Structure 1
């Protein structure tokens, strides 16, 4: 099922009774990489076109299953209005575009958040029976409720910074800009074209205003990918990339990418006027 159809289904099922717990459903699909699509993604996000998948690309293979899982009434939170607040990706080894892949997605950690309820959509990708990629997308539903469970913290203990609401996000890296980005008004539509994420908040000022934004906003995963692309050639083969999404990046905008090398990777953020649109870490992954 195409993502546009799934978003329409989600809109229809957003009203009415819903489940109170997460479904135990695990969705799976087999995937092969379309090289033309990979090249288009690379150009939109700033990566070099090649045979090895950028660390953020497999998220596109798992995302349709995320949406399928969240679009049904068995999911406790309505998809419209969910905010992607954090993402964690682990690449266990380089993935070649020629490899047949097995993709799985499940939901975990439906927990209270000071502003509502929070849930993780977890993806894993294998090649020939070997786990090659893991992803964890954290979503916030403002004003929603979740069952309290004192054994589950609101964010994974490994996350280097807590999940906060966007307005509270601050810059992570001190110092001058590594790069200045002029992010044009069509960025959301171009990324939607390669990702399939046609959420209307990203596509046009008028549709974004219907959801309370003054202009269209960039996809968080475009911002994460574009920041990663700036460090291409200086990254370990196996890595963990964690990001927190801050204030929305309105289109068009001029923003700054700042990076800081540490012993086993990088700290980075994307900011404007001292506030972070994204703050993250890249660390070498072992095992």
Structure 2
């Protein structure tokens, strides 16, 4: 375990990750960082939290963290691990494919927390290699929020189809609830409040360098926006999968029924998710 005095600055980490990316040779049996990065005594910047809530559609001024916000807090620690030499997957082109978040009760915005992040392992995927990154938020020594995110590095693989990760199951379309018109600055606005200024989200010019016709929305913004509309109980498990990028500007349909939600655009389904109430 490595204890840090505070959250690291993101720009140097993103630059380091970009510079090292061409030298990475991803494979599922590669070694990965074993260290757990920890920031004790963490307090939330309430101004930044309010800006995040506005961008994502959550109500502001409440003494509670949105279920997605601890991911934003942990992002600099995740980037410190994934931008280092010991992490075998290239940061450039890494795709966030899914997230599972568990909140065991309401999280006070004014609380003091211990934040920890570690890489849980690598696994073969039918399109390359996937890494699992775990983020935990603790209060008084107890885990009050945790997540498991999967990140995919695409590359040629010799893995037999039967051993590769299974294709995601198809789900029946949910009834439409709202239509959202997304402006071309959504990526820049979310990047400003989250710190994730990946060039694929910022402008058509920088997105084209990575093969996208226009800038794309952050996956975590799409999930946060859906959960802001859907609502979540205090104790909750959320599972979400990112299936196709959301081009900006663009029109999308938020659909939901019971504990399920999804975001669609035309014939594409961009995000699917499930919300489960937990017994505190």
Same fold? TM cut 0.5? yes
1:98 corresponds in structure 2 to 110
Deviation at 1:174, TM superposition (A): 2.9
Match of 2:46 among 35, 42, 45: 35
TM normalised by structure 2 equals 0.89
Task: Say yes or no: does 1:199 pair with 2:198.
Answer: yes
2:175 corresponds in structure 1 to 176
1:9 corresponds in structure 2 to 16
TM normalised by structure 1 equals 0.87
Aligned 1:126-275 pairs, distance under 5 A: 126-143=138-155, 164=168, 172-232=171-231, 235-261=232-258, 266-275=259-268
Match of 1:87 among 96, 99, 109: 99
> CA, structure 1 residues 84+17, in 2 after alignment: closer, same or farther (shift >3 Å)?
closer
CA distance in 2, matches of 1:3, 1:224: 22
> CA, structure 1 residues 273+203, in 2 after alignment: closer, same or farther (shift >3 Å)?
same
CA distance in 2, matches of 1:277, 1:207: 21
CA distance in 2, matches of 1:37, 1:200: 21
Deviation at 1:13, TM superposition (A): 1.5
State how many pairs are aligned. 267
Check whether the contact 2:175–2:256 (CA below 8 A) recurs between aligned residues: no
Deviation at 1:42, TM superposition (A): 0.5
CA distance in 1, matches of 2:130, 2:89: 9
Check whether the contact 2:100–2:238 (CA below 8 A) recurs between aligned residues: yes
User: 1:141 aligns to what SS in structure 2?
Assistant: strand
Could you say what the CA RMSD is over the residues aligned between the two structures, in angstroms?
Answer: 2.2
Unaligned ranges ≥5, structure 2: 1-7
User: 2:176 aligns to what SS in structure 1?
Assistant: coil
Unaligned ranges ≥5, structure 1: 156-161
Match of 1:123 among 129, 135, 150: 135
Deviation at 1:236, TM superposition (A): 1.6
CA distance in 1, matches of 2:118, 2:201: 25
Match of 2:31 among 14, 21, 33: 21
User: Could you give the per-residue CA deviations for residues 170-190 of structure 1, whole angstroms, max 9, x where no partner exists?
Assistant: 6x4534311111111000000
> CA, structure 1 residues 269+15, in 2 after alignment: closer, same or farther (shift >3 Å)?
same
2:5 corresponds in structure 1 to none
